[in-house]
Chain A
Amino acid sequence: MRKKLRENLIAYLFCAPAYTIFAVFLFVPIIWVIVLSFKEFSIITFNSAEFVGLKNYAKLLKDQVFLRSILNTLYFTVLYVPGNTILGLIFALLLNKPFKGRNFFRLALFIPNIVSMVVVSIIWSLIFSSSTTGIANRLLLALHLKPIEWLSDYRYALIAVGIVLIWSGFGYRMLIFLAGLQNIPDELYEAAALDGATRWQITFKIVLPLLRPTTFFVITTSLINSFQVFTPIYIMTGGGPGYSTTTIVNYLYTKGFSEFQMGYASAISVVLLVIILALTFIQRKIGREDIIF
């Protein structure tokens, strides 16, 4: 009995540091943010925070900018999720079997992923800079096309950010697909080839169906990521022009940390939380349980 108690105590001691951090910086905040979303306060007036019930949520439903930020995020998702998934899949298929230069090409396609989002955003805001100075526009001019105000024209700003996220993100998806391809045994390819299947048939009838769990994983994690885009928008467009590139997190930042309406920003946080939890739930329920990231 005493031995049992000792064993328990030791296990708790091993767990204590990590779970203390979780408690203070995740579990308490997650409950607290829900409570805060029913209040009205700025960081200065925190102690006199006023309970306002569902007022923040009622305001959210009528807030055109918030609705716009959700629409922007969805529009963004339509651009970014398929782009990254398809490019990741194509290049994984192309770079799966050994050939000359394969390792270099893999690294070259993946390298933008390790460059931090801040650096990525600054590089591309230089490339997309206005009128005729930026490289993107010089390229268009060289092709005898009209230059575009990439980041200050509401028709192009979101597309420009989409290009940046594909640039930095498809190499990572490629790596996940390559890992998925490694799990397909060579015998399957050999057996199919013996049966006279063409490369095309092998790809579409064998490889793609077997990659379905990986594909599902890539799509759902990309969705979860695209609902949380912040840095490139903050640095490249500041949410503008107008609110044409404002995403949910950018709006959360503006309300909470520029305008200091922290109760209202908490309500936005809760909406974001619900969206991400729903997406995660779909991923866990339908996807393979053993894939975790």
Chain B
Amino acid sequence: MRLQNRWILFVKYLLIIPACAFTLLPLIWVVVRSIEPDTGIESYSLIPKAITFDNYIAAWNYPKVIDDNVSLGTMLFNSLFVAGAVTLISIFFDSMAGYALARKNFVGKKILFWLALSTLMIPFYAVAIPMYIITIRMGMYDTLAALIIPFTASGFGVFMFRQSFLSIPADFEQAAKADGANDFYIYWKIMLPMVKPTIATMVVFKVLWSWGQFFWPLLVIQDYSKMPINLGLAMFRGHNITRWGLLCAGMIVATIPILIVFLSCQKWYVEGLSGGLKG
């Protein structure tokens, strides 16, 4: 029995370790290229020849990274600002709607719930052209607002918040109502703190999603100083294909913030996934 277990463990490692090498080595390769003096893409050593942070300093300061007076630092700030704003506002809007759908009785509740669900089926790419026209007409073209405002609510968020508000017993609300608290107070001070795990889950989903956006910024942002870092990196690669070390440093800089968010909220993210499965 023991021998058999060891044998199975051996087979497990034999399958898992190459798979981990497949997922990790490309990332390690980029990290190594980013911390050594620029040796070019033909360099595949996983041990840096010398360690330097010149690439990072250049990425942060270099004024003509693309052919404009914009550094990757500015673009990193744009991404942080957009992801932060989308996350905060959309969690607020989604939880308000989710709260009403879960705890209030009103005319048209079913229709509104159905509408929130139906947004999940609409592929973003299919509505890009009218969204583009609307964004231009609202005067948001080439502003950070174009990257934020359209995404300040999501059917997915409304649904998730509705589910978690449904599971809270009615006593809390009734006690607060008896004390004469108003509706917004009940939502904000009593109900919202009770769904902290859902908030944490939504933070990870929204940050990852907003950070990963590419198609939409490509359509609505032209000015380098307003580009999120992902779009900036794609432009940098298109314009300047010789500075590999700098490109690699840029990619690491673009990944670290979401890595931090993910690692610190990992528990909730995974629970959110299984929560979504259980419904």
Query: A residues within 8 Å of B by Cβ?
Result: 7-8, 10-12, 14-15, 17-19, 21-22, 24-30, 32-33, 36, 43, 46, 87, 90-91, 94-95, 99, 105, 107-109, 111-112, 114-119, 122-127, 129, 132-135, 138, 167, 171, 175-176, 179-180, 182-183, 199, 214, 217, 224, 228, 230-231, 234-235, 249, 252-253, 256-257, 262, 265-266, 269-270, 272-273, 276-277, 280, 288-293
Contacts and interface: CB of A to CB of B under 8 A. Distances in A.
Given A29-B127, A235-B237, A99 B277 contact: no
B126 A270 contact: yes
B144 interface: no
Given A8-B107, A108-B23, A123 B129 contact: no
B279 A293 contact: no
Contacts of B149: 21, 25
B208 A114 contact: yes
Interface residues of B, dominant DSSP: helix
A230 B213 CA distance: 11
Contacts of B156: 292-293
List 10 A-B pairs, minimum CB-CB distance, nearest first: A290-B279, A179-B274, A29-B130, A14-B100, A29-B127, A18-B153, A11-B106, A18-B97, A11-B104, A32-B130
A99 B12 contact: yes
B: interface residue count bin: 35 or more
Contact of A14 (B19, B131, B187, B247): B187
B112 A19 contact: yes
Interface string B205-246: 000100110110011000000000011011001000000100
Nearest to B15: A94
Contact of A108 (B20, B42, B106): B20
A273 B123 contact: yes
A293 B125 contact: no
Contact of A276 (B99, B106, B126, B218): B126
B152 A21 contact: yes
B183 interface: yes
Interface string B18-35: 011011101101100000
B81 interface: no
A28 B277 contact: no
B128 interface: yes
A102 B9 CA distance: 11
A116 B212 contact: yes
Interface stretch (B58-66, B166-174, B192-200, B253-261): B253-261
